[in-house]
Amino acid sequence: MNEYKVKPEDENQRIDKLLTMLNRNYTRSQIKGWFDQSQICVNDHSVKANYRLKSNDVIKWTLPEEKIPSIAAENISLDIVYEDADVMIINKEKGMVVHPSPGHSSGTLVNALLHHTTSLSSIGEKERPGIVHRLDKDTSGLLVIAKNDTSYSELAKQFKDRTIMRHYVALVHGNISHEKGVIDAPIGRDPNNRQRMAVVDGGNQAITHFHVIESFRDYSYIACQLETGRTHQIRVHMKYIRHPLVGDKKYGPRKTFNLNGQALHAKQLGFYHPTTKEWMMFKTDLPNYFKRAMERIRNMY
């Protein structure tokens, strides 16, 4: 159930128009169908699509259940950094979606994993076998995959206890004036755009540590370490301190490099092996798209 309290600036607006803004994955005609099925109410009463909103009205609505097709194994090449009976470490390429979802029923990391192995944890949602954590589609780098339920539970506990080590590198706009810093700012759904996250009062605690590796006049090459793992955390936090990621058209400026997404790479991943309890550390080289962006920046000066 979704809920939204009408703000003074929303007053006298048609409810179907506001809901179209709050549910950008759906068309106005689809949302009209929700009214026909009585899936929307205001102050616990059904209303019509042309209802004019009043300040402090409480809108509640239920999104229709979206069915995801059965997941097929697909022969997709994977960069497997490490594998044993319990875990796999994948170096995910930029542009690959981690698991199936509406609009991405094939070509995902999960489709590739199902072709590679029959041993994947069944804990969690059925379209996410073995997936303990995720990377955005256009973020490249290291992911750990759980090959059985025991491994999944052990790794999930490490994420909860914040003992997993995750180091990223990123290219950001602007010359950061200080060598290092900590961003401790809560993240939640952007109230003005439900497709984005933002630093908001009442959001989930989010902490990002960063330090500058190399500075340029208009750009910085930085390393980030996550203490928490919120959706789009690095992208949102760097925008918050006015240094959005290069290539990130969702959170950054329109005038940026055309990289088909943000310059963000999960470069290091460390955790305790779920069975042996041995500390394991994995590192990757910078991917080619990232190297080319770095070279382009260096050639500017």
Q: Rounded distance, CA 36 to CA 75, Å?
A: 43
Q: Rounded distance, CA 193 to CA 200, Å?
A: 12
Q: What is the dihedral of CA 214, 198, 189, 127, to 10 degrees?
A: -10
Catalytic residue among 16, 57, 86, 136: 136
Cβ contact 15:49 at 8 Å: yes
On the CB side of 84, CA atoms within 13 Å amount to 7
Cβ contact 207:230 at 8 Å: no
Q: What is the dihedral of CA 104, 107, 112, 114, to 10 degrees?
A: 50
Q: Rounded distance, CA 49 to CA 300, Å?
A: 54
- Rounded to whole angstroms, what are the CA distances from 42 to 45, 46, 48, 149, 150? 5, 6, 10, 43, 45
What is the number of residues in the chain?
A: 301
Q: Rounded distance, CA 132 to CA 125, Å?
A: 11
Cβ contact 189:169 at 8 Å: no
Residue type present at position 45: H
Is residue 136 among the annotated active site residues?
Answer: yes
Burial 134-155 (b: 16+ CB within 10 A, else e): bbbbbbbbbbbbbbbeebbebb
- Encoding tokens for residue 9? 């600036």
Residues marked as catalytic:
136
